[in-house]
């Protein structure tokens, strides 16, 4: 037999071609995320062609992953970003002249210290996600404290962003199984059923 | 060619809703408690606003330890509020050590929409401690007790605020202003209790 790349529809190498064996899955490059070509007998079902998935891959990705997306996936990005924005918003609503702040004394300084540390917590969450527990707890306490110290928490907007960011940081867990929504599970089931059909 | 291992989407970190709610629910409850306590006047908030014009109206302000003198405020470079004065604003600095205000309304212009804060509308009045405002406009019916007019602002002692030397000012033991209306460029209050607090957005302001 002439040695050639297996084509969908061939029986596995060395076996007689009879209808007992399901067609092997379309061969794929190790790095490509899209299947090479749809199986010829699957052309009647357009919704299934591009997503013909082997049973071992229940959740085919719907778009290729970029470097930024993978970097984001390794840290609580949304939480850190929201905490930073919340602290920045509070600082933007302040900006009293330095003479007045110094006159008021320590009480005036806390009005700037609390949102500044909130910004630092947000940035550190992104840069150092291993310590996110501490940053999220500290962040939520600072955001709540900013109600008293800093223009009612930047007129409530900075307080809301800070609390939301801290809660998202607290809720983030690393290294999870990729999500399969009901649509992908249905597609995978249809693909597996079509593969099993003789 | 042997079939290669199928590609699997990379494992990513993910926000779990249950964990988020574990912190979110107590934080939301604490924030709500803070708002309610402030509306009852039990918690004093600290204010420090600058650079954006900020209108304050009140039906009555009564203060002890009052100082007033002129000043020149500088905005941040390239501030959108600079107008044609080059970012400098002639202001009157009013410093009051302790003040109570009735029917206080404060509004900030956030680009078209005004954020309006109402407080002190009922029987409990707004109390402010160490209130310093840089105003471009002050209007109202004012009466003073033991007023000294014309002193050098750097010598003032009644309001706990020292003005720049060589600047004309006045200081008084007590002041009562009815139908107060101020346009402030900077407001700082070390402690502001706001009973009956109510925040909203509208297009009119105060």
Q: What is the pLDDT of residues A116-147, one digit of tens each?
A: 999 999 999 999 999 999 999 999 999 999 99
Structural domain of B64 = 44-78+85-202
Query: In whole angstroms, how large is the CA radius of gyration of chain A?
Result: 27
Residues 6+ apart with CB under 8 A from A87: A115, A116, A117, A118, A119, A120, A121, A122, A142, A158, A162
Tokens of A93: 């609503």
The model's confidence at residue A59, banded by pLDDT at 50, 70 and 90, is: low
Q: Is A34 left (phi over 0), alpha (psi -120 to 50) or beta?
A: beta
Tokens of A121: 């917590």
Alpha carbons B201 and B108: distance in angstroms, whole number? 10
Domain boundaries, chain A: 76-171
Residue B35 within any structural domain of the chain? no
Average pLDDT, chain B: 82
3-state secondary structure B130-185: EEEEEEEEEEEEEEEECCEEEEEHHHCCCCCCCCCCCCEEEEEEEEEEEEEEEEEE
- Which of A144, A147, A160 to mutate against chain B (most B CBs within 10 Å)? A147
Question: Averaged over A64-93, what is the pLDDT?
Answer: 90
ipTM, two decimals, is 0.72
- Which of A104, A128, A149 to mutate against chain B (most B CBs within 10 Å)? A104
Residue B28 within any structural domain of the chain? no
Residue B21 within any structural domain of the chain? no
Min CA distance, B205 vs chain A (Å)?
15
Q: Is A10 helix (H, G, I), strand (E, B) or coil?
A: strand
Residue A19, pLDDT score: 52
Q: Which residue has the higher pLDDT, A171 or B135?
A: A171
CA distances from A160 to A145, A146, B69, B114 (A): 12, 10, 38, 19
Q: Considering only CB atoms, which chain A residues are within 8 Å of B18?
A: 171
Residue B12 within any structural domain of the chain? no
The model's confidence at residue A107, banded by pLDDT at 50, 70 and 90, is: low
Min CA distance, A30 vs chain B (Å)?
6
Yes or no: say if A150 and A111 are a contact pair by the CB < 8 Å rule: yes
Residues 6+ apart with CB under 8 A from A2: none
Q: Is A183 helix (H, G, I), strand (E, B) or coil?
A: helix
Among B91, B101, B120, which Cα is nearest to B183's? B91
Q: Is A175 helix (H, G, I), strand (E, B) or coil?
A: strand
Alpha carbons A43 and A49: distance in angstroms, whole number? 7
Residue A42, pLDDT score: 46
Structural domain total, chain B: 1
Chain B: residue whose CA lies nearest to A129: B13
- Determine whether the interchain pair B12/A53 forms a contact, defined as Cβ–Cβ distance below 8 Å: no
Instruction: Flag whether pLDDT at B82 surpasses 60.
Output: no
């Amino acid at each position: 037999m002439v040695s050639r790349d297996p084509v969908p529809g061939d029986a596995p190498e060395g076996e007689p071609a009879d209808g007992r064996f399901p067609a092997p899955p379309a061969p794929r490059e190790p790095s490509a995320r899209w299947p090479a070509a749809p199986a010829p007998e699957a052309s009647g079902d357009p919704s299934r062609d591009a997503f013909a998935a082997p049973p071992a891959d229940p959740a085919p990705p719907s778009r290729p992953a970029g470097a930024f997306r993978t970097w984001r996936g390794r840290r609580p990005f949304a939480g850190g970003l929201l905490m930073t924005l919340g602290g920045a918003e509070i600082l933007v609503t302040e900006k009293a002249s330095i003479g007045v702040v110094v006159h008021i004394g320590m009480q005036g300084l806390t009005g700037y210290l609390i949102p500044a540390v909130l910004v630092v917590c947000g940035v550190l969450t992104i840069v150092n996600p291993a310590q996110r527990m501490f940053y999220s707890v500290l962040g939520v306490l600072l955001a709540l404290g900013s109600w008293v110290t800093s223009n009612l928490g930047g007129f409530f907007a900075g307080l809301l962003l800070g609390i939301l960011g801290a809660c998202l940081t607290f809720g983030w867990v690393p290294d999870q199984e990729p999500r399969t929504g009901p649509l992908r599970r249905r597609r995978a089931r249809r693909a597996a059923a079509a593969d099993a059909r003789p | 060619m042997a079939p290669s291992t199928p590609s699997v989407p990379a494992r990513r970190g993910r926000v779990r809703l249950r964990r988020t709610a574990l912190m979110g629910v107590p934080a939301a409850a604490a924030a709500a408690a803070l708002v309610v306590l402030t509306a009852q006047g039990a918690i004093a908030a600290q204010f420090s606003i600058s650079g954006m014009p900020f209108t304050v109206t009140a039906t009555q302000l009564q203060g002890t330890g009052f100082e007033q003198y002129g000043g020149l405020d500088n905005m941040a470079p390239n501030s959108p509020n600079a107008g044609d004065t080059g970012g400098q604003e002639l202001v009157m600095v009013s410093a009051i050590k302790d003040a109570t205000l009735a029917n206080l309304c404060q509004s900030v212009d956030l680009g078209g929409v005004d954020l309006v804060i109402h407080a002190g509308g009922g029987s409990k009045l707004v109390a402010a401690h160490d209130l310093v405002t840089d105003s471009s406009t002050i209007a109202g019916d004012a009466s003073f007790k033991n007023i000294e007019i014309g002193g050098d602002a750097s010598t003032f002692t009644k309001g706990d605020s020292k003005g720049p030397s060589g600047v004309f000012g006045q200081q008084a033991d007590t002041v009562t202003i009815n139908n107060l209306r101020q346009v402030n460029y900077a407001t700082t209050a070390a402690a502001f209790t706001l009973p009956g607090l109510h925040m909203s957005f509208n297009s009119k302001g105060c």
